[in-house]
Amino acid sequence: MKNDDVLKRLRIVEGHLKGVIRMVEEDAYCIDVIRQVQAVEAALNKVSAQILDNHLNSCVITAVQGEDPAERQRVLKEVLEVFETSTKA
């Protein structure tokens, strides 16, 4: 996994989140806070997508090409569970 890229993005999100915290502490306009929270959520979704892409192109490919059917099934189940969790309301 490209940890440097992921860490860079997470540090940016961290800074953005600290800004949102400051906005709340300073009693900023609610809609402005909500927009910033949505921006943080979008940034975290991009991080998740990057991590998933890395996982699919490394661990999952290795498992699918491997000889162990139980490992293939386990890895595919993990991906399905992550997808199902992300789509829950």
Which residues constitute the domain of residue 12? 3-86
Give the rounded distance of the alpha carbon of 86 from its chain centre.
Answer: 10
pLDDT in tens, 12-33: 999 999 999 999 999 999 999 9
Residue 53 sits in a domain whose CATH number is 1.20.58.1000
Do residues 40 and 23 touch, judged by C-beta distance below 8 A? no
Cα separation, 4 vs 10, in Å, equals: 10
Higher pLDDT, 35 or 80: 35
Triad 11, 6, 15: Cα angle to 5°: 15
Determine how many CB atoms are found less than 10 A away from the CB of residue 12: 13
Confidence (pTM): 0.82
Q: What tokens were used for 45?
A: 């979704």
Please state the domain count of the chain.
1
